[in-house]
């Protein structure tokens, strides 16, 4: 019973269902994700036959901004969804090709170049340390010809997981202590939240197997989301 209650508490902390600011976050998140979807279609140009991996999906069906690719993309039967969580409900609900369970911090369970595109929205900030983020990015590049990854910009004024303003601009260890005191342990753990700036991604790119470009989406005139794609030769 205690384990089940802990699981429910962590779910609540992760999704913030009861937070009074969640509706406001959804509003601005949907605006950003609509822009992201348009950029995805323009930059990756998937055809009706393109095999797409949606990596890091969520089983959540309550929030409007969850699984926005599945809600909008017309050729859903070509999407394979993968996650460390059970997203079989997502595959069934949207009529996707299949759901595949992958393990955190391990190689993805796919062949080299199995997909044309690896789409990954707001997951990179949840995979751990910088070294683990580099490993994750290289795995995305291994299994797909093209990648399209989004992650929140650390230097957007409001941190959208905790709803705290500006404190995520402080040294990360200080931010974690503040989050631990004000909110709880979940987002104070680097395995659950490790935001990146554009500069940090460019620095990480030296350790990647392929050259990348970093673009962005703006909310209220400021860079809210960063987009990582493979640079075409």
Instruction: Give per-residue pLDDT as tens, 135-171.
Output: 999 999 999 999 999 999 999 999 999 999 999 999 9
The pLDDT of residue 64? 82
Distance separating alpha carbons of residues 133 and 119, to the nearest angstrom: 15
Farthest CA pair distance, the chain: 55
Instruction: Assess whether pLDDT exceeds 80 at residue 65.
Output: yes
CB 212 within 8 A of CB 228: yes
Average pLDDT in the chain: 91
The pLDDT of residue 6? 40
Q: How confident is the model at residue 3 (pLDDT cuts 50, 70, 90)?
A: very low
Instruction: Assess whether pLDDT exceeds 90 at residue 206.
Output: yes
Q: How confident is the model at residue 15 (pLDDT cuts 50, 70, 90)?
A: low
């Amino acid at each position: 019973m205690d384990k089940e209650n802990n699981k429910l508490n962590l779910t609540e902390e992760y999704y913030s269902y009861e937070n009074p600011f969640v509706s406001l976050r959804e509003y601005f998140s949907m605006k950003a994700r609509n822009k992201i979807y348009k950029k995805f279609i323009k930059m990756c140009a998937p055809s009706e036959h393109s095999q797409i991996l949606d990596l890091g999906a969520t089983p959540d069906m309550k929030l409007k901004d969850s699984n926005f690719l599945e809600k909008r993309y017309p050729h859903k039967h070509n999407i394979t969804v993968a996650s460390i969580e059970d997203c079989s409900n997502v595959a069934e609900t949207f009529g996707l090709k299949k759901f595949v369970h992958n393990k955190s911090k391990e190689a993805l369970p796919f062949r080299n170049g199995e997909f044309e595109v690896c789409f990954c929205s707001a997951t990179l900030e949840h995979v751990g340390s910088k070294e683990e983020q580099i490993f994750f990015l290289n795995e995305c590049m291994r299994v797909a010809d093209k990648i399209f990854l989004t992650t929140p910009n650390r230097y957007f004024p409001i941190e959208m997981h905790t709803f705290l303003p500006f404190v995520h601009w402080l040294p990360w260890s200080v931010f974690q202590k503040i989050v631990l005191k004000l909110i709880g342990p979940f987002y104070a753990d680097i395995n659950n939240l490790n935001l990146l700036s554009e500069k940090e991604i460019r620095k990480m790119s030296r350790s990647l197997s392929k050259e990348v470009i970093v673009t962005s989406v703006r909310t209220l005139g400021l860079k809210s989301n960063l987009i990582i794609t493979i640079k075409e030769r």
